[in-house]
Structure 1
Amino acid sequence: MGIKNFMGKRAAPEKEAEVPMLVRDYMAQNLVTFREHENVMDVMEKLIKHSISGGCVVNERNELLGIISEGDCMKQISDSRYYNMPMNDLTVGKRMNTTVETIDGNMNVLDAAKKFIELKFRRFPIVDEGKLVGQISQKDVLKAALRLKGQNWHH
């Protein structure tokens, strides 16, 4: 598996006034997830229904296997047209991206922002002891930044 985890620097105890902005405090936890055996068409329906652009693929133990996105679905639509492949027997397992970058829930949100910029991803799964515990998106980072506005940026 190509799952790489970026460990955050553990937040040192700080002065009371400064609130460490940790990824785990801003990540989404009620995630729409997918299974390897699911059909790509069903994924498309869920993406549209929940207005999301992708989601994590997990097994029955909630361990992260990969990510499937709108882009993966688009590729499937395109391929099935050109190679005359039936859409209805294509599974998430065949289409998901297994090279997944995860980040540590204890990472500072501002460090996470830097990762988004460097890697140009829209979301990062957060894994704790192999299990998917949440996901942070660019929007979550923006929310954290707005909350920081009145505070000190230099943590």
Structure 2
Amino acid sequence: MRASEIMTSPAVATTPTTPLREAVAVLTEKGFAGLPVVDDEGRVLGTFTEFDALRGIRASGEGITVGELMSVPVEVITPSTEVTEIGRRMLADRLRCLPVVEEGFLVGVVSRRDLLRPLVRPDDAIAAQVHSLMSDYAGHRPKWTVEVDGGCVHVSGEFRDEAERRVLDALARTVPGVVAVVLADRNPAST
């Protein structure tokens, strides 16, 4: 799974000239841990977090702008960044959100909540989506049985070759909430 599949887009952002009070209002009203800080063209300059807001309030807060408080340098990711890499970076650097940029411009944000959301997706919803993808791939002919337990997808049936197995594995992994894929050959019953 990649950032593009879980990111919040369009991203709510702020600018360096935004007053502290206004930025704090966005953080608290929307329930965000942080906001990307962008220039007039949408390039990410930094992030403004709850911690930055608290520093500003402690320093009196009057007349202070986001640009004076924002965290720099800012870590960013791309839409193709793998979720495992996002999680690793968030844990290692204690980040609560990461701006997603494409060709230097903000296209979304991934928060810890975005990372967690697919993990709590019901197994039946995952199974239905995986089954639908595989049915489309097979031309709507029932070829495989799909079962999901704790986000682990078990696909059983007959596979033409290793290439088809790789395609089915890749298809299943595109579904939010999938944590593992197991493909098992189903042998035809003896007569």
Q: What TM-score, normalized by structure 2, do the two folds share?
A: 0.62
Query: Stretches of 4+ moved more than 4 A in 1?
Result: none
Post-superposition CA distance 1:51-99 (Å, at most 9, x none): 212201111111101111111111111122xxxxxx3311111111121
2:30 corresponds to which residue?
A: 50
1:1-155 → structure 2 map (5 Å cutoff): 21-80=1-60, 87-147=61-121, 149-151=151-153, 153=179
Q: How far off is 1:154 after superposition? A: 5.0
DSSP-derived class of the 1:42 partner: helix
Q: How far off is 1:39 after superposition? A: 0.6
Q: Which amino acid letter does the alignment assign opposite residue 92 of structure 2?
A: E
* Higher RCO by CA contacts (8 Å cutoff, separation 6 or greater): 1
Gaps of 5+ in 2: 127-150, 154-177, 182-191
RMSD: 1.8
Q: What TM-score, normalized by structure 1, do the two folds share?
A: 0.75
2:131 corresponds to which residue?
A: none
Percent of aligned pairs with the same amino acid: 26
DSSP-derived class of the 1:49 partner: helix
- After the TM superposition, which of the residue ranges 49-58 and 104-113 deviates more from structure 2? 104-113
> 1:153 and 1:70 mapped to 2: Cα distance?
31
> 1:150 and 1:92 mapped to 2: Cα distance?
43
How many pairs align? Answer: 129
> 2:93 and 2:180 mapped to 1: Cα distance?
23
Q: How far off is 1:145 after superposition? A: 3.2
Contact 1:109 1:144 in 2 (8 A): no
